[in-house]
Amino acid sequence: MTKQSAAARRALDQRFLRLKPVVAEARPHRGWVRAIRDALGMSGPELADRMGLKKSTIGDLERSEEQRTIGLDTLERAADALGCDVVYFLVPKTSLEERVRTQARMKAGRHLGRVAHHGRLEDQVLTDDAALAQLDRFADQLIDRRGLWSNDE
């Protein structure tokens, strides 16, 4: 599981690097459906007709996109009627590799914090450098193991 997960993270991280500029692209303030419909010179009733909807529903559809409550299936139908494709993806805020390493360090820190507490009670204290090295070694062992994302220890 370790080699596969690490390889999958690296491959996805490379793909996400190419998507970062798209994420930064601002959505039109009234939504893509309205922006594209207006740019095409298509009226609301014409879009409704192309989608097989009542003419009065396009305003509701466009408002739901603007408010980010539109369903993906509805957005796909509107896109099809406008001659467009819907592109759907999730882009992590940091690399997947960094996200996994952060989670492993947090989990290792919680575990080692309890161990350090017991060590202090017995006057066995590590130096800061030794404690960080121990934390990193333990975090490396946790990466790609089951339970990394669970709240329990």
pLDDT for residue 133: 80
Is 37 exposed, middle or buried, given 0-12, 13-18 or 19+ CB atoms closer than 10 A?
A: buried
The rounded mean pLDDT for the chain is 87
Token pair, residue 116, equals: 């350090």
**Count of the separate structural domains present in the chain:** 2
* Lowest mean pLDDT segment, chosen from 83-87, 111-115, 116-120: 116-120
- Please state, in angstroms and rounded to a whole number, the distance separating the CA atoms of residues 91 and 17: 9
Domain boundary among 30, 55, 81: 81
Q: Tell whether the model's pLDDT for residue 1 goes beyond 80.
A: no
Distance, in Å, from the CA atom of 58 to the CA atom of 110, rounded to the nearest integer, reads: 52
Out of 36, 55, 81, a domain closes at: 81
CATH code where residue 23 lies: 1.10.260
- Of 12-16, 55-59, 92-96, 130-134, the poorest mean pLDDT is in 130-134
pTM, full prediction: 0.73
Instruction: Give the span between the Cα atoms of 35 and 140, in whole angstroms.
Output: 48
88 lies in some domain: no
Q: Which domain holds residue 41?
A: 2-81
Question: Does some domain include residue 91?
Answer: no
Q: Is a pLDDT exceeding 80 seen at residue 126?
A: no
C-beta separation of 83 from 109 below 8 A: no
Q: Tell me: do 111 and 54 sit in the same domain.
A: no
Whether 86 is in a domain gets the answer: no
Considering the domain boundaries, does residue 152 fall inside one? no
